[in-house]
Amino acid sequence: MLKALVESSLYKGYQVGSDASSATRIYHLQFVDDTLIVSEKSWANVRVLKANLILFELISRMKVNFHKSLLAGVNIFESWLLDAARVLN
C-alpha cells in the first residue's frame, strides 16, 4: 500500500545520498514483526500516512497499536514531532 502512494507521488520517502542521480529513496524498512516507516518532514506525509494506516486497519481487520508506536525525527524540532504525533494518534 505504501509503495503505491510513493509511486503516485502522494508520499515522499527519505533520500539517501546527496547526488540526485545516484541517490536512493527509502520509505520503509521491515524486520521480523516491526516496520520502520521513513519520510521527509511534511504535513502532507503525516496526513497520507494516517489515512494509509486507517485503510490498513479496515482492509486487514488488524489494529495498529499507536500506544506501542514511536515517532522520531532527526534534526526536527520536538514541537513539530509532538504535533505530528497528535495527528497520528
Task: Supply the Cα-derived Rg of the chain in whole angstroms.
Answer: 14
Between β-strands 24-26 and 28-30, what pairing exists: parallel, antiparallel or unpaired?
A: unpaired
The total of structural domains in the chain comes to 1
DSSP label at residue 21:
T
Q: What is the pLDDT along the chain (89 residues), one digit of tens a residue?
A: 777 888 888 888 888 887 777 788 888 888 898 888 899 899 999 999 999 999 999 999 998 888 888 899 989 999 999 999 999 88
Domain that holds residue 47: 2-88
* 51 to 21, 31, 54: CA distances (angstroms): 31, 23, 5
